[in-house]
Amino acid sequence: MPVFKTYFKIMKKQLTGLILYGIMFITITLMVTFFIIRDSSKEFAVSRVPILLINNDGDNEFIEAFTSYLDGYVKFMDVEDSDDARRDALFYHEVNYILTIPEGFTVRFLSGEEDRLIKEILPDKMAAVQSVDSAIDNYLNMARVYIKYNPGFDVAELTEFLKNNPVSETEVIIESKKKDTLDAAEFNSYYFNYLGYIMIVCFVLGVSTVMMSFHGLDIRRRQFASPVSSRGFNLQLILANLMFVLVYLVIFNVVGYLVNPFRRIDFSLILNWINTFVYALVILCISFFIGITVKGKNAVQALSTALSLGMAFLSGMFVPQQFLGSAVLRVASFLPSYWYVRANDTIGSLTEYNIRNLTPVLQYMAIQIGFAAVFLAFVLVVAKRKRQVAT
């Protein structure tokens, strides 16, 4: 397969540039990973619910033990002692919970009477304060059991028992920007979005330069005089291009998996791989088109830089699409990179994998395939004209 071998001989001349871009991309990725790992311990913390405690029962040993226990779950807030101030604090979410201990609660509770604390919670904060409700119920239920089976108990003995025998573990809300599984998907979205920029640079720089060498007028005339048929010539070029794309993708997919601090292979990552392969075919067709139409290596290098930066900035590879203006996004929608990034972002936001959630991702991939078909048609038209000129 002489054409196949020649392809990679020419590609070797571009190897230095490809390696430099690859090293630059991996270095940036490793730096991002380092900062994520360094800050990961800061991402998670127990969400201590801000509450207002109104103690109408006065200070006593049982109430002090109870509030000391609650301190592990809540953050006690100071609010002006008036009904209006309390309602405002609850309405404006300065506090999520108002807990009132009624007068005489301790005496009635310790005597075995049924008594309740008074709670005020906004409906939209019910889920956020669930851990506080569970903690209060668990503590008081444990105290009731002790009181029931230990007649003639002393309050000091009760509080000591509750301190030394923790109540059943309460589910604590963990406050973080993302769950661990979403962090992995989010990292993959950023990684593959940035990879899209490097793919444009490397494919245009590598593939276009090789195609330009193969489609020069003298080379085409020699090819017609050689024993290799036009069909065999094109087939070997296609195989060589696909081999280059596959090797490139395998290397960077493996790198993306290894540098991901939340390393895992799941359906989300597989979708990212498929989307990247589809996008690689689009960029391959664009690079092929540039290679057979542009004359001069300097023009190819200039195009690789301009095209990669332009598509990256417009499509959301560098700046997330939600921060781009509507006019920019309308222009970007005419670029395949926009749909590549859109697919990556959608994949990263998925929590359930069903046909309804996957349909947008498949549509974005189909649009990219449409771009590939358009550029492939351009390639066939230009190649046909070049064959006519050569003959």
pLDDT tens-digit readout, 284-293: 999 888 888 8
pLDDT at residue 180, rounded to an integer: 42
* Domains of the chain, first to last: 2-40+178-390 (no CATH), 45-175 (3.40.190)
Tokens for 380, please give them: 């066939």
Single pTM value for the model? 0.62
pLDDT at residue 387, rounded to an integer: 65
Average pLDDT over residues 91-110: 88
Q: What average pLDDT is seen over the chain?
A: 80
Q: Is the pLDDT of residue 41 over 50?
A: no
The backbone torsions φ and ψ at residue 260, rounded to the nearest 5 degrees and listed phi first, read: -70, 115
pLDDT band per the 50, 70, 90 thresholds, residue 372: very high
Closest alpha carbon to 131 in 175, 185, 74: 74
Distance between CA atoms of 133 and 73, rounded to whole angstroms? Answer: 10
Q: What is the pLDDT of residues 211-230, one digit of tens each?
A: 777 665 555 555 555 565 66
pLDDT at residue 259, rounded to an integer: 81
Helices (H), the chain: 2-12, 15-43, 61-70, 83-91, 105-110, 130-149, 155-164, 180-203, 209-214, 217-225, 230-259, 267-293, 297-315, 326-332, 336-349, 355-390
